[in-house]
Amino acid sequence: MPRKLFVAGNWKMNTSKAEAVALARALVEQIGSQEAVDTAVCPPFIYLTAVAEVISDSRIDLGAQNMFYEDNGAYTGEISGAMLTDAGCRYVILGHSERRHVIGETDEIINRKIVKALGDGLEVIFCVGELLAEREAHQTLDVVRRQVQVGLESVSRSDMERITVAYEPVWAIGTGVTATPDQAQEVHAMIRDLLGQTYDAELAESIRIQYGGSVKPSNAAELLHQADIDGALVGGASLKAADFAAIVQAGIS
């Protein structure tokens, strides 16, 4: 069975409440009823419930951008997986490069979060990707392999069905520089191969691997038509309803 494309918008630390609601409304109007591509939006925590209400009757799903690996307790400023499901989230993004490189999350921390999110019933968008220096040193495949292996440590095969991997080369995020379709395809194929070895061929064939890093309407079609690219994790362009809708459309046509 061909993999259904999955396009998610990572709004990062952007929008006011009014802007979040307006963006969600515009998306419901433009792509809220299409079924050809799975879609999700990931607003800041504090606007999750407001956006959940706007998209509730549409086919757009809700995701969060992060969570903590404990249930509750003295973890000032953190948010649990149960809180996310309570707010209406289906997905959570974990391992994003800004969490890794700005906040300092390690592969081990990301693994704890992934295991907890799956235990809490969430689906995970698990991000991996190399730094520019690592690409230039020809370490891309090794770095991404390690991130995948450690990040998914002890995740069962059945739980893997609730994982989407997002390959996001750090040098392409928010820079306007996109990996070429060939560069992206090479890493996506390696990830799929690795999942095949770790789990089995059927799982590897069914899992979705998104590309992220300066995806925009003008480059979406070319990327989405690569054999092992099954969608996109979109940052900057997800803040404009028309651009996000055009990226989704590129996956349909």
Q: Binding to ligand PGA (CB under 6 A): which residues in 133-172?
A: 168
SS (H, E, C) the chain: CCCCCEEEEECCCCCCHHHHHHHHHHHHHHHCCCCCCEEEEECCHHHHHHHHHHHCCCCEEEEECCCCCCCCCCCCCCCCHHHHHHCCCCEEEECCHHHHHHHCCCHHHHHHHHHHHHHCCCEEEEEECCCHHHHHCCCHHHHHHHHHHHHCCCCCHHHHCCEEEEECCHHHCCCCCCCCHHHHHHHHHHHHHHHHHHCCHHHHHHCEEEEECCCCHHHHHHHHCCCCCCEEEECHHHHCHHHHHHHHHHHHC
Nearer to ligand PGA by Cβ, of 32 and 213: the residue is: 213
User: Which phi and psi angles does 248 have, rounded to 5°?
Assistant: -60, -45
**Is there binding between residue 235 and ligand PGA (CB under 6 A)?**
yes
Shortest Cβ distance from residue 11 to ligand PGA (Å)?
10
**Tokens coding 187:** 């890493």
**Is there binding between residue 63 and ligand PGA (CB under 6 A)?**
no
Q: In this chain, which stretch among 14-22, 132-140, 141-149, 235-243 interacts with ligand PGA, using CB under 6 A?
A: 235-243
**Is there binding between residue 213 and ligand PGA (CB under 6 A)?**
yes
Nearer to ligand PGA by Cβ, of 5 and 204: the residue is: 5
Shortest Cβ distance from residue 173 to ligand PGA (Å)?
4
Among 151, 181, 236, 251, interactor with ligand PGA by CB under 6 A: 236
Shortest Cβ distance from residue 104 to ligand PGA (Å)?
17
Q: In this chain, which stretch among 13-21, 66-74, 208-216, 223-231 interacts with ligand PGA, using CB under 6 A?
A: 208-216
Residue of this chain nearest to ligand PGA (CB atom): 235
- Interface mask toward ligand PGA for 166-205; x: CB under 6 A: --x----xx-------------------------------
Q: In this chain, which stretch among 61-69, 135-143, 153-161, 229-237 interacts with ligand PGA, using CB under 6 A?
A: 229-237
Q: How many residues bind ligand PGA (CB under 6 A)?
A: 13
Distances (CA, A) of 207 to 53, 63, 219: 29, 18, 23
- Interface mask toward ligand PGA for 7-26; x: CB under 6 A: ---x----------------
Show which residues are catalytic.
96, 168
Contacts with ligand PGA, residue ranges (CB under 6 A): 10, 168, 173-174, 212-215, 233-237
